[in-house]
Each structure stands twice: as C-alpha cells, then as structure tokens.
A = this chain, B = another copy of it.
Amino acid sequence: MKKIFFTPGPSQLFFSVPDHLKEGINNDIFSISHRSKKFKKIYESCITKLRTFLEIPENYNICFLSSANEIWERIIHNLVLESSTHLVNGAFSKKFYDFAKMNKIDAKEFFYDRVEYNEDDLVDDELVALTLNETSRGIMCDSDKISSIRNKLKNSLVALDCVSGLPSIPFNISDVDTFYFSVQKCFGLPSGLGVWVYNEKCLEKNKSISDKKITGTYHSLKTLHNKTLNFQTPETPNVLAIFLLSRVLDDMIRIGKDRIIRETNYKSSLLYNTIKQSDLLKEYIENKSIQSKTVIVADTEKDSDYFIENLRRKNLIIGKGYGSINNQIRIANFPSHSKESIELLCDELTKLQ
C-alpha cells in the first residue's frame, strides 16, 4: 500500500496532482516564458478560479508570493507604519507578532485560547491580525468571533491568516481586509507558493504610508498590485505551482466547496470521536467551538512516537506535536484526505492500546 500523509503540511497531495504535473510536462508549461501570453492566461485563469471557488468579491485583489512567512513580512512592510495588534494562540500567530517586532513596529500581543483575553482591551489599531486555524495547536477561530471583532474595530485593517483553514473552514470574507494562505495545506499541492488577497482599503493604506517608510522592492504591494492587474509577477515566479493550483481548483470547483466543508466536518467528527474513545488519547482542545476541523491535536498518554511509529508501519503518516513536544500528535484533515483514508486511520488508531 502507498503511504498516506496526514502530516499538517506539506501533506497528502490532492489525488489529481500527478496527472496535472504530467500535463504540465507534456505541454511544456515549465519552459514557457513568464512574460508570455500563455503564462498570462494560466495566471488569469488561476485568479478567476480562486475568485469563483472562494467567492472573493471584486474589490479584493489576489497576488502570488512564495510563502505565508513572506506574506507576514510584506503585510508589516506595506500595511503598518507604527503599530499592530496580534491575537496570539500558537506558534504561527506568535511568529507574525515577532515579525512585526523585528520591524520595530509597536506590536501588541493578545494571548487567547483556553483563557480568553479581555474583549474591552481590544481597541482599534492600524492592523489587527487573526488566525483562522492555528496549525501549531489545532485551534480554530469561529467565524462569529471574526465578525464581532470586525464590528468592534471598524477603523482597523483586519488580517486573517488562512494557512491551514481555506477552503475547509468557512468565514465571511467581507469581515476581513486581507487574508492569505499557502498551498501545501488544504490545497494539497507541493510547497512553495503563497496566495495574498487584499482589498481596496489595503491599497489606500499602503498609498498613505508609502512615502513614510520603505515598503519593499519587487514585492512591495504597489509593485505586486500593478503586476497582478496584468496577470504577471515582478520576478520569475513558481510557474509550476501556479499551474498546479489552477488545475486543482478545477477539480475542487467540480467537487464543490460546500461538499468539501461538509466532508471536513464529517471526517473531523470521526477523528475526535476516535480520540475520545481511546484510553491513550485525549483531545488537546476540548471546547467544540474552537476545536480545529483541519488540524486535529491529541495529547498522548504514551510518548507520541508510539503512535507515530505504529501507524507508520501501516503506511499511515501522522504528525508530531509542534516543535519539540513529544506527548502530542497532530493529524491533518484536508480535502486531499478521503473519507475512506480517515476511516482507515481511525480504525488503526482504535487498535492501538
């Protein structure tokens, strides 16, 4: 049996990726000039499908970068002059906060997860950073929470990190001014591409601060935006990844976002039920409303290697706790993970005693 990767990203490739790669090779997609009409068509069609599939309104623009790490840095460079607010509930939201600090931004950190921060302390700022799904700890941000923050902080740009959330975890796009993700999580693609979506308010903010600070060179928002309007990137981009994303979007549009979300919910229930029924496993996040549906984290009674190695022998590859934690496992539940594969994994997890 071929291995199945339930690691939280890079993870199992979407089933159609090998065929799309073959198509790319056969049609010389990876040799064409990134300034050619043919590439512009691939770019345009990828953007159009992202709009359709994710229901991105017309006043939001889309461009391609190389990673979510890069997008954190570009957001700080391009949308923040002096201060930002970060809701931090794990290693990745913390990293974004750290990036702001490294750029001498007066960044404020609001810890939250099991203990909630005080809502009253949260006030308007240049930018407020939220995380749809904190990959490191498996914590989801409820879409109602995003809406309520949006309503409270009308004069802030709201940024939503959707790295391991989109398209599996829904939210109202109009609640945020910018959001972004990388393709190696829920899109089941090889890593090396970040997608940045930003609205007109971001462009205005960028314009208003551009003469007050250095906003970048080839990837300043202004340069990126001018290029993306013409379906181009400033540099020679990861053409292969843009092409694969475009093709996988065809497949996902055919399946339908609603069905993907429904199946995500079903598969996550299976996984959490299995964890609850196990004597050796315990849900790390117990509050249903913030339990991630895409990255399932369980505390382990035995060392996490017991689970990881036993499942590996069955060709089922799961992730360990983030960083050096050895009493946690993480299991990805992305669109590339079929119901059958999750059922198989649950069966094998149940057998481990």
Asked whether A13 and B30 contact (CB < 8 A) given A18-B25, A73-B216, the answer is yes
Contacts of A3 in B (CB 8 A): 28, 31
Number of copies: 2
A218–B66 CA distance with the chains assembled, in angstroms: 12
Is A10 part of the contact surface with B, judged by Cβ < 8 Å? Answer: yes
Q: Are B25 and A72 in contact (CB under 8 A)?
A: no
* Bitwise interface map of A from 173 to 207 toward B, beta carbon under 8 Å scored 1, else 0: 00000000010100000111100000000000000
Contact status B67-A236, CB under 8 Å: yes
Report chain B residues within 8 Å CB of A102.
214, 216-217, 220
A residues contacting B by CB (< 8 A) are 2-3, 5, 7, 9-13, 17-18, 21, 25, 28, 30-34, 66-70, 72-73, 76, 98-99, 102-104, 182, 184, 190-193, 214, 216-220, 234-241, 317, 319
A191→B7 contact, CB < 8 A:
no
- Docked pose: A31 CA to B318 CA in angstroms: 11
CB <8 Å contact, A34 and B21: no
* Chain B minimum-CB-distance residue to A104: B214
Tell me the complex Cα distance, A30–B190, Å: 5
C-alpha gap A10/B25 in the complex (Å): 13
